[in-house]
Amino acid sequence: MPGLQPHQLGTYFALIESVSLLQHAVEQQLRADGDLSDIQFSLLMRLFDANGQLTMTALADGVVYSRSGLTYQAGQLEKAGLITRSPDPTDERSTLVTITEAGHARIAKVLPGHIEVVRRLLIDPLPDRDVKSLGDIMSRVRDHMRTEPPRSAAPRKRRP
């Protein structure tokens, strides 16, 4: 692989592979313990952290998908009784998404196992010094990505 040095490439592959394994384990756990996809869990957690209520747009923010994808997931969560949707009195174009009691309960049900997986696979095998380094490094990477101009804001179109 030209253009990157072996240790740079090694870093990339180790990162991608280990995160894939971690995500896979997390997905299994969430599905088994609470019948949730990782995305559904993220959405519930965002609501939880936001004290229970967000607009659709705010909820989607950062969980990169299309509007329609969020509508679909919100539909699933609503069907499962974990959220409700209601009009926003402030702005009648908006929809307020609210986490229900059952939604809270589902999080409570799933969280211990979730933490256990993350601890077992990521935290415990590393000395605390490395956990801190890793957090520090990846925070900088994340912040850099977030401030980067999207670059392919107008991605090349396949011929129509």
Partner DNA sequence: TATTGTTATACTCTATAACTATA
Partner DNA sequence: TATAGTTATAGAGTATAACAATA
The binding site for DNA (CB under 7 A) comprises: 37, 39-40, 55-57, 60, 65-76, 85, 88, 91-95
Taking CB under 8 A as the rule, does residue 159 contact a copy of itself? no
CB atoms within 10 A of CB 81: 12
Q: Are 42 and 114 in contact (CB under 8 A)?
A: no
Which CB, 43 or 96, lies closer to a copy of itself? Answer: 43
Taking CB under 8 A as the rule, does residue 50 contact a copy of itself? no
Per-residue contact track with a copy of itself, 98 to 117, x per CB under 8 A? -------------xx--xx-
Distance CA 7, CA 86 (A): 52
Which CB, 84 or 131, lies closer to DNA? Answer: 84
Taking CB under 8 A as the rule, does residue 23 contact a copy of itself? yes
Distance CA 118, CA 134 (A): 14
Which CB, 38 or 78, lies closer to a copy of itself? Answer: 38
Residue 65 Cβ, how far from a copy of itself at the closest point, in Å? 10
CB atoms within 10 A of CB 89: 8
Residues for the chain: how many in total? 160
Partner touching 32 among DNA, a copy of itself, none, CB below 5 to 8 Å by kind: a copy of itself
CB atoms within 10 A of CB 72: 12
> Maximum Cα–Cα distance for the chain, whole Å?
57
